[in-house]
Amino acid sequence: ISPTCDPRESSRRMRAGSARGERKVETVEAYAHVLEQLSGRAAADEDLTIVDAGAGTGNLVLPLAASGILARARWVAVDVKAESLRLLEQRAAAAGLGPDRVSAWLGRIEDYDGPCDAVFSLHACGEASNAALRLADARGVPFAISPCCIGKISRDRGPLSEELRGLMRREGVEDVGNAFWLIARWADAELFAAGSEGERRQRRAKAVVEADRILSLGGGGYRRMLSGPHMNASPKRDMLVGPAS
């Protein structure tokens, strides 16, 4: 693909050879695998619209659009930051990806009202990942979402799902909101050595938070959480995937 679509070229911190850059490439490759599964279910002449929710400057949408998978699909990059979308459009144009292939939509994910046949999202911060899930659920479309900054919730928000709320109450938790906030903070921590008890607690907390997201979705269908490409991958590389509800 064009260097302008390579996420390693988007920042000095992610240049080729850096651990951060290689992790980003592995993550994009995982999304490409999901995209291939989607292409296997789509009709050859089907024109799909895939939304990248919280697209930033395009480190997910651009390499996927340039990959040739689902060559007839149109990608819509949704973000609240005008400058990020301006840079994304510059990168797309330099790679020869015109607006018929990649277009930008400025605004909140929850306000997006255009066509949508699938939702992808990589590290949309905090509640933006939940907004991406709700968009997919409301439209009844497949999704692949890797949440970020999951500790950024208020103490009184509590779980999204009634299932987890009920379980915590049955276990005698008096302040469900504060207890879930502590779980989310554990899930978002990055201070633990590999294989330590702290890391194991972090992974369990992350699994609880992501299971709560999945349980909160109203539609049917089989949804699950995939761990990172390697067993020692950070829990922040987990991906939530699901078919059309």
pLDDT in tens, the chain (245 residues): 788 888 877 777 767 667 777 778 888 999 999 898 887 776 655 689 999 999 999 999 999 999 989 989 999 999 999 999 999 999 999 999 999 999 999 999 999 999 999 999 998 887 899 999 999 999 999 999 998 777 777 788 899 999 999 999 999 999 999 999 999 998 888 777 777 888 888 889 989 999 998 888 865 555 565 655 444 556 567 889 888 65
- Provide the β-strand partners of residue 146: 122
Q: Domain ranges in the chain?
A: 3-151+218-242
* pLDDT at residue 225, rounded to an integer: 57
Return the H-helix or E-strand segment holding 148: strand 143-148
* pLDDT at residue 224, rounded to an integer: 61
> Cβ distance 132 to 109 under 8 Å?
yes
User: From residue 31, how far is each of 34, 69, 145 by CA, in Å?
Assistant: 5, 11, 9
Quote the tokens at residue 143: 């999704």
Query: Which of 2.40.30.170, 3.40.50.150, 3.50.50.60, 3.40.140.10 is the CATH number of 3-151+218-242?
Result: 3.40.50.150
**Over the stretch 129-141, which tens digit does the pLDDT of each residue have?**
999 999 999 999 9
Strand order in the sheet with 239-242: 102-106, 74-79, 49-53, 118-125, 143-148, 239-242, 224-226
What amino acid occupies position 50?
Answer: I
Dihedral of CA atoms 223, 224, 228, 234 in degrees, nearest 10, equals: 110
Q: Write the burial class of residue 224 (CB in 10 Å: 0-12 exposed, 13-18 middle, 19+ buried).
A: exposed
User: From residue 25, how far is each of 55, 64, 199 by CA, in Å?
Assistant: 16, 11, 24
* pLDDT at residue 74, rounded to an integer: 96
Per-residue burial over 49-85, b = 16 or more CB atoms within 10 Å of its CB, e = otherwise? ebbbbbbbbbbbbbbbbbbeebeebbbbbbbeeeebb
What amino acid occupies position 77?
Answer: A
DSSP three-state, residue 114: coil
CA-CA distance, 236 to 245, in Å (whole number)?
25
Quote the tokens at residue 112: 């997006």
Quote the tokens at residue 191: 């201070």
Spell out the residues 6+ positions from residue 72 whose beta carbon is closer than 8 angstroms to its own: 45, 46, 47, 48
* pLDDT at residue 230, rounded to an integer: 46
pTM of the full structure: 0.85
CA-CA distance, 18 to 209, in Å (whole number)?
30
Other beta carbons within 10 angstroms of residue 170's beta carbon come to: 8
